[in-house]
């Protein structure tokens, strides 16, 4: 399995990976606080990545032919397998290549699906064109909603587990409780972990919401006697005639509009920074570093700098 590179777990790298796979309208976000996960409708699934688990592996009690899950074949590929397990069981637009892959591997066992993923030249190429600087081995557990239930997939188990009913609106709240229990145990045993969320692309969500809000603002203007070319007719018909209420509604909509405009601006700036960071991650700085060291040596500055660094290190120890 040496022909696969380990992916850096930074969201920019993982988002680039799924984009190369053909997934549209999605991005990967690292979660630092479970309370920040609020809108279940925009979260396709959660992937918990960890170095080892003090918890016993749950015995799978369910078989579902519609679930396309994977097991850990190579710990180096756990991040990719966790993300793919979420995507292959979601309503996201995963593109033609992943759709073809899903149809191909669906009849197989979780372990054979992982073998198929490893043998997929397309997925491997998409993986290897991204940054490869993560050397640690990891395992994954992912959570996602499916057919009114919340599914937990442990990459080390032989199948899925359901831990309760969960609609599109409340599955995330149920998942938070299960995750918090795991994280409490991880903290006791000092287990390194990270939480990734597979979510709707924030720019697309805000742009779509912005279009709706702008039509609603136009409807309020029309209700107050203004002339507008395009507005939300259904929203217009539900508006009251009270001018004070309309004024308050307009203020709320303008605030919502400003919020989404700011989100779009911030996310676009973030994407520019991500692109620059990914270029730096891929660049080989070794020749530059060797050249600097050589120049320092020629100017007889290298040894004094090393001695200065050693003294500083000893003073801090």
- The larger pLDDT score, comparing residue 117 to residue 136, is at 117
Angstrom distances, CA of residue 175 to CA of 35, 151, 261: 12, 9, 31
Average pLDDT over every residue of 102-115: 93
**CA torsion, points 254, 255, 261, 264, in degrees to nearest 10?**
-150
Burial class (CB in 10 A: 0-12, 13-18, 19+), 82: buried
The band of 2, judged by pLDDT with boundaries at 50, 70 and 90, is: low
The band of 1, judged by pLDDT with boundaries at 50, 70 and 90, is: very low
- Each domain of the chain, given as residue ranges in start order, spans 11-200, 203-282
- The larger pLDDT score, comparing residue 185 to residue 39, is at 185
Q: Which pairs with CB-CB distance under 8 Å and at least 24 residues apart come from 252-258?
A: 253/213, 253/216, 253/217, 253/220, 254/217, 256/209, 256/213, 257/210, 257/213, 257/214, 257/217
d(CA 272, CA 254): 27
Task: Please report the pLDDT score of residue 131 as a whole number.
Answer: 64
Contact 115, 73 (CB under 8 A): yes
Task: Please report the pLDDT score of residue 56 as a whole number.
Answer: 65
- The larger pLDDT score, comparing residue 3 to residue 87, is at 87
pLDDT of 19-30, one tens digit each? 999 999 999 999
d(CA 108, CA 112): 6
Identify the CATH class of 11-200.
alpha beta
What is the rounded end-to-end Cα distance, in angstroms, of the chain?
41
Diameter over CA atoms, the chain: 83
d(CA 67, CA 43): 18
Task: Please report the pLDDT score of residue 74 as a whole number.
Answer: 85
CB within 8 Å of 235: residues ≥ 6 apart: 215, 216, 219
Q: What is the mean pLDDT of the chain?
A: 89
pLDDT at 132 over 70: no
pLDDT of 155-201, one tens digit each? 888 778 887 777 777 889 889 988 999 999 998 888 899 999 999 99
Task: Please report the pLDDT score of residue 169 as a whole number.
Answer: 74
Task: Please report the pLDDT score of residue 7 as a whole number.
Answer: 83
pLDDT of 242-265, one tens digit each? 999 999 999 999 999 999 999 999
d(CA 309, CA 306): 5
**What one-character DSSP code corresponds to residue 300?**
T
Residue 35 C-alpha from the chain's centroid: 16
> CA nearest 196: which of 68, 10, 21, 7?
10
The band of 205, judged by pLDDT with boundaries at 50, 70 and 90, is: very high
pLDDT at 301 over 80: yes
**What one-character DSSP code corresponds to residue 75?**
G
Task: Please report the pLDDT score of residue 266 as a whole number.
Answer: 96
The band of 135, judged by pLDDT with boundaries at 50, 70 and 90, is: low
Contact 83, 14 (CB under 8 A): yes
- The larger pLDDT score, comparing residue 31 to residue 278, is at 31
Contact 126, 17 (CB under 8 A): yes
Average pLDDT over every residue of 93-103: 97
């Amino acid at each position: 399995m040496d022909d696969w590179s380990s992916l850096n777990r930074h969201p920019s790298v993982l988002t680039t990976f799924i984009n190369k796979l053909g997934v549209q309208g999605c991005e990967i976000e690292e979660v630092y606080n479970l309370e920040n996960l609020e809108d279940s409708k925009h979260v396709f699934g959660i992937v918990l990545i960890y170095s080892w688990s003090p918890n016993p592996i749950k015995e799978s009690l369910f078989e579902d032919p519609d679930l396309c899950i994977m097991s850990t074949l190579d710990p180096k590929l756990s991040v990719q397998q966790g993300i793919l397990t979420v995507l292959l069981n979601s309503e996201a637009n995963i593109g033609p290549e992943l759709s073809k892959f899903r149809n191909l591997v669906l009849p197989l066992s979780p372990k054979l699906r992982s073998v198929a993923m490893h043998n997929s030249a397309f997925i491997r190429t998409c993986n290897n064109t991204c940054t490869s600087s993560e050397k640690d081995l990891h395992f994954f557990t992912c959570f996602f909603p499916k057919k009114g239930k919340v599914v937990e997939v442990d990459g080390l188990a032989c199948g899925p587990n359901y831990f309760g009913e969960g609609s599109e609106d409340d599955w995330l709240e149920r998942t938070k409780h299960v995750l918090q229990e795991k994280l409490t145990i991880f903290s006791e045993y000092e287990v390194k972990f990270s939480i990734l969320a597979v979510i709707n692309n924030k720019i697309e969500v805000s742009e779509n919401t912005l279009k709706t809000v702008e039509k609603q603002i136009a409807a309020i203007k029309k209700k107050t006697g203004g002339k507008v070319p395009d507005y939300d007719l259904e929203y217009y018909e539900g508006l009251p005639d009270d001018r004070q209420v309309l004024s308050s509604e307009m203020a709320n909509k303008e605030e919502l509009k400003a919020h989404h405009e700011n989100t779009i601006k911030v996310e676009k700036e973030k994407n520019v920074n991500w692109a620059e960071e990914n270029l730096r991650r891929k660049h080989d700085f070794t020749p530059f570093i060797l050249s600097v060291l050589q120049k320092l040596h020629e100017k007889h500055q290298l040894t004094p700098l090393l001695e200065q660094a050693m003294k500083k290190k000893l003073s801090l120890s």
